[in-house]
Amino acid sequence: MSRKKTIPGEADIKTLITNITGFERDDVNFDLCLQFVQSHVKYHRFLSVDSHKIIKTLNGICTKFSVHCQNDKAEALKRLIEKFELSPLSKQTTQTKTDGHYAVLSLLLELSNCPTENVFKEKQVVQPEVEPEFDWAGYLLADEDYCRSHYLDSTDDSEDEEDTNDFNQGTTHLETIATESNDYTGSIETQKNWLLRNLVIQYWNNDSKEDNFTGRFPCSNLHRNWDRCLVEGNPFHVSRHSFITEVQLIREILWMLSGVSKSYVFIFEERRFTVNPDVYLSHLTDYCMENSLQKFMKYGSQVMALETFCQDVVNYSCDSIDMSSVTQTYQAFVSSLSQFLKDFKKFLSGREIEVRNQETPMTMSILYNQLEPWFQKIELVYSIYISGIAAAAELDSSILKASHLLNVMFKTLIDCDTLGEPDRDKMSLLLVIWIQTCRPYFDILSDWITSGNLIDPREDFLIQRNKTAQSFDETFWENAFLLRLDNKMDISSSKISRDINIADATTIPRFLRPVLKEIALTGKSMELLFSMGQVEKVLDSDVLECKQKSLYEIFVENLAKMLGTKSGHEAPESVEREVTPEPNITKQRVEEQLQVKGVYDPLLRINFETVFDTQQMKNVLHQRKEDEHLKLLYSLEVDSLQPLEIILQHCLYPYIQHRYNHVCSHLINIIKHQYHLFQDMKAMRSFFLMEAGGTLYDFYSNLFERIKKHEEWRDDSILGFILEEALESKFSDISHRLTVEVEPPSPKDKYPISLTDCIKLHYQVAWPANMVISQKYQERYNEIFSFILQIKRAKYCLEHCNFKALERKDFFKSLSISHMAEVAIETDLPAAVKIHRMQILRFRLLYFVNSLHNYIMTRILHSTGIEFEENLEKAQDLDQIIAAHVNYLHKIYHHCLLDTSLVTLKSAITKVLNLILVFENYWQMGVDEISATALEDMEMEFSRCVQFLGSFLNSVIKRGSFPHLESLAFAMVTSMGKT
């Protein structure tokens, strides 16, 4: 029986026909195709496939894809062809790049039809996880030796028979050992070859030879040709001998930019990088290579400077001896700067992986284009470092350094925003660094205006606590907090507005200048409330809501609401870390201590564990909150960025203003109602300014009578008893707080009217009202009191001039002949005329004193007091109350002509008041004791003083300098008599 001869692969041929033509096997056309194929396979010979032609055709297809902007197809085709060439066609063979591979590729080329018009979608091949097979042989023979001796147990009879078997077995064993040894040697050679292929050539040892990298294009050998030309032109030319490839140079560039100071190509000296003079590239001249590397070395030097600064700050921060060596502001700036450098190094690491894998072309030009956005950021950060830190190295205080850095960053941010910086990434980076650098200031502010604690261990803050001023001192409000200035001026807002030009103060950061007054007053008020024991009310009503949020967190959240956040924005890797609790080593130590002591208390251990767990959980929650706000900060939408002043007005200042209004108003209410500040001020006006006229009249009338009768009055007990009697009727409840004191007479008191200037009142003001009515202000009150007392004395003397006393005659003196003769000689006026002139002079003096008295008590004290009360009602903080009181006291002091600028007027008035005492003395002596000369002298003296006062006041009023003196000037003019 004859059998039909089959050809190899007939089943595959049938499957191929079905897939290409679509004919079924029972179809006639299918049989025709099968016969055709079998005929060609059996009786035709085909030439071998030209692999070069196939590769050229495939490269042409890839180029065609690139021309048609189908780069994904070109890359995929190249990758798949390379993978196919390096893979065996079947499991029975390990050969690659055989004729069979190119035959299959040729077949695929013949079957292809318009590849550029087809839609390409690469299939994702999922590689199954292959579990490594366990090497049982290696495991079982781990402790066995390959060379083993065989001992035969056969008898002597069988030795001859088994000699041959033993020889065969030994030979087989030796062959096995030799085979294993050959396999082991082969594995060493394979590993060595792998190492030679994958290890980097040690170009730093001049192992890299240019001949191994010589290209076929002339431009790739430019250095050799140019160097040969230079040698021919200059016999003394020294050629470079250390050849490196551009890939190696690029990796060196990436290392340099990462902060590596020691490398082969780049030498770091004197804070800058230079190129190794012995290195060259084959395709670039020496000048061209160095010129191309200059821009990389520039930014490498800047990165190195920033890295050095960060390391120095970290080292100084770890120094616990000098706490003020590095400010918290510098530490915050270094933290944000380190984050920026870490992101930059991460980007460089990605580029290095690309260069190492050589999957994509990379040249110095391509690398620079990729790094150019980062270079712009580095230059921006470096400029801040130079102008904000290096330029402030000579400053001698921490506050000057911190404020200078913050002001430089603030100005840079404003300048970039004003000039319309097109790169929003730079604006985002600058904004983030500025906010993070301001973090210490925000934290110090938050603690101070929230809890009243000014914690500034590194002396960063512009305000410092004066430790010598205690909370219960009357100078607390004035001296407790000081600006860190060279003149050490205090922080009260009135003094800041008068004595300190905030715009020129270098220690005040610009972003805090608009709210400096509110910050200072809120912080001082909080500490004062804490001393009063009233801080709980403020915290209960306002701070509990924001107790978990600091000023920094509130500012970041408000900024995110105002600008918006980017959707899908990826935060830096260091920010997106998972917070895990630290191992609780402290609990273990407590457990050990409890056991060491010998008395193990389980309840005490549980309490300790609860404390440590709570603290650890707080730390974890705090860290998570920090990460959330940092992510929010990096996701800000900078495209909608508004001017920085507007941002601060909407995101920072409102909270500070709110705290200022709430805390200061609460403090004022407490001082007004619980500490009776207004009652003390009313008492000062009643006694020192003599607004309690009836009560003080009883005091000074008794005093003036004693002086008139020459009785003893210069004694504290006597005056105290007189004052106690005067206050008993209406002010018995506060009489114990008002005392009187007699000081030694001053040599300046040359006029008799100044006799009572030694009397000083003292009013005991309780804390905290004594911060408003302090001892130095009571001295000013006493000066006004002395002047009013002089006017009261002159007025009292004139009002108590009895007409009978003037007409009284001394009969004993009238009988004296000598006296009668003297009178006859000295006087030529009758007594009635003298009496008449004395009465006219009395009325003129009384009119003058009454005019002066009404001016002081009504035009000055009363009207100024009404204005003062209105200012007190409008006051929003304690500082405004103090300022209103100071202005009130200063205005009264000035309007009473006690100011040094009005010493001329005061001197003229003092002469008139002293003249009244002389006049009263003559009046009491009687008309017979008054000579015409003395009467004329008094009249002339009074006329001159009044004429001077009238003319001087009129000229001043015409200039508009002192409008309040108009009524007094009118009284002076009308009191002039006919000259």
Q: Can you give the pLDDT at residue 578?
A: 44
Q: Which two tokens stand for residue 619?
A: 């730390």
Q: Which of 19-33, 538-552, 903-917 has the lowest mean pLDDT?
A: 538-552
CA-nearest of 360, 330, 519 to 439 is 330
In the chain, % of residues over pLDDT 70 = 73
Read off φ and ψ for residue 273, nearest 5 degrees: -95, 145
What mean pLDDT is reported for the chain?
77
Rounded distance between C-alpha atoms, residue 605 and residue 591, angstroms = 7
Averaged pLDDT, 853-865: 84
Residue 30 pLDDT exceeds 70: yes
Give whole-number Cα distances, 123 to 89, 107, 126, 263, in Å.
21, 22, 9, 44
Average pLDDT over residues 267-275: 87
Instruction: State the average pLDDT over residues 33-61.
Output: 79
- Within 10 angstroms of residue 229's Cβ, the number of other Cβ atoms is 11
pLDDT at 51 over 60: yes
Q: What is the average per-residue pLDDT within 862-871?
A: 87
Handedness of CA 769, 774, 778, 781 (dihedral sign): negative
Statement: residue 904 has pLDDT above 90 = no
Burial class (CB in 10 A: 0-12, 13-18, 19+), 428: buried
Is the CB of residue 99 less than 8 Å from the CB of residue 48? yes
Determine the Cα–Cα distance for residues 433 and 341; give it in Å rounded to an integer. Answer: 12
d(CA 395, CA 864): 49
For residue range 634-669, list pLDDT tens digits in order.
677 776 677 888 888 888 899 999 889 888 989 999
The C-alpha atoms of residue 916 and residue 796 are separated, in whole angstroms, by 10
The Cα–Cα gap between 810 and 643 comes to 94
Q: Specify the higher pLDDT residue, 747 or 517.
A: 517
Rounded to 10°, the helix 328-357/246-257 angle is: 170
The yes-or-no verdict on residue 750 having pLDDT over 90 is: no
Residue 365 CA to residue 939 CA, distance in Å, equals 106
> Is the pLDDT reported for residue 910 higher than 90?
no
**Each residue's pLDDT tens digit, 810-858:** 544 444 444 444 444 444 577 788 888 888 888 888 888 888 888 888 8
Taking 70 as the threshold, does the pLDDT of residue 252 lie above it?
yes
Query: Contact, 609 vs 591, CB < 8 A?
Result: no
pLDDT (average), residues 355-375: 88
Contact between residue 722 and residue 714 where contact means Cβ atoms under 8 Å apart: no
pLDDT digits (tens, 9 = 90+) for 135-173: 555 555 444 444 443 333 444 444 444 444 444 444 444
Is residue 344 pLDDT above 90, yes or no? yes
Task: Judge whether 562 and 646 are in contact, CB under 8 Å.
Answer: no
- Chain-centre distance of CA 958, in angstroms? 55
Please, which contacts does 470-476 make with residues 24 or more away whose CB atoms are closer than 8 Å?
471/527, 471/528, 471/530, 471/531, 472/531, 472/767, 474/767, 474/770, 474/771, 474/774, 474/775, 475/771, 475/774, 476/528, 476/768, 476/771
Task: Report H helices in 635-652.
Answer: 644-651
Q: Would you say residue 242 has pLDDT above 60?
A: yes
pLDDT at 132: 59
Where are the strands (E) in 728-856, listed by range?
738-742, 759-763
Which residues are CB-contacts of 700 (< 8 A; sequence separation ≥ 6)?
789, 792, 793, 796
Which pairing describes strands 242-243 and 279-280: parallel, antiparallel, or unpaired? parallel
**Best CA proximity match to 860, nearest among 886, 879, 839, 888:** 888
**Mean of pLDDT values over 9-35:** 83
Q: Which pLDDT does position 184 carry in this prediction? A: 45
Is the pLDDT at 764 greater than 70? The verdict is: yes
Which carries the bigger pLDDT value, residue 698 or residue 567? 698
Using 50, 70 and 90 to split pLDDT, how confident is the model at 960? Answer: low
Under a CB-based contact definition with an 8 Å cutoff, are residues 844 and 942 in contact? yes
The alpha carbon torsion through 188, 191, 195, 197 (nearest 10 deg) reads 120
Which residues make beta-bridge pairs with 741? 760
Residue in this structure with the two tokens 């450098």, named with its chain if needed: 341
- Of 503-507, 563-567, 621-625, the one with minimum mean pLDDT is 621-625
Helix or strand run (H / E) with residue 514:
none
d(CA 256, CA 254): 5
959 against 508, higher pLDDT: 508
Q: Over 298-329, what HEC string results?
A: HHHHHHHHHHHHHHHHHHHHCCCCCCCCCCHH
Which H or E run contains 174? helix 159-198
pLDDT at residue 131 above 80? Answer: no
**Which residues, listed in sequence order, are joined to residue 483 by a DSSP beta bridge?**
463
Q: Which residues on adjacent β-strands are paired with residue 760? A: 741
Nearest to 648 by CA among 456, 497, 445, 458: 445
Indicate whether this model's pTM tops 0.75. Answer: no
Q: What does the pLDDT read at residue 381?
A: 92
Q: Among residues 246, 308, 307, which one has the least CA distance to residue 279?
A: 246
Under the banding of pLDDT at 50, 70 and 90, the label for residue 296 is very high
The first and second tokens of residue 589, run together, are 């130590």
What is the rounded distance in angstroms from the CA atom of residue 767 to the CA atom of residue 878?
Answer: 13
Classified as helix, coil or strand, 910 is: helix
- What pLDDT, in 10s, does the model give residues 515-532? 888 888 888 888 888 888
| Percentage of residues of the chain with pLDDT beyond 90 | 6
Lowest-pLDDT range, 163-177, 463-477, 788-802, 862-876?
Answer: 163-177
Rounded mean pLDDT of 875-903? 87
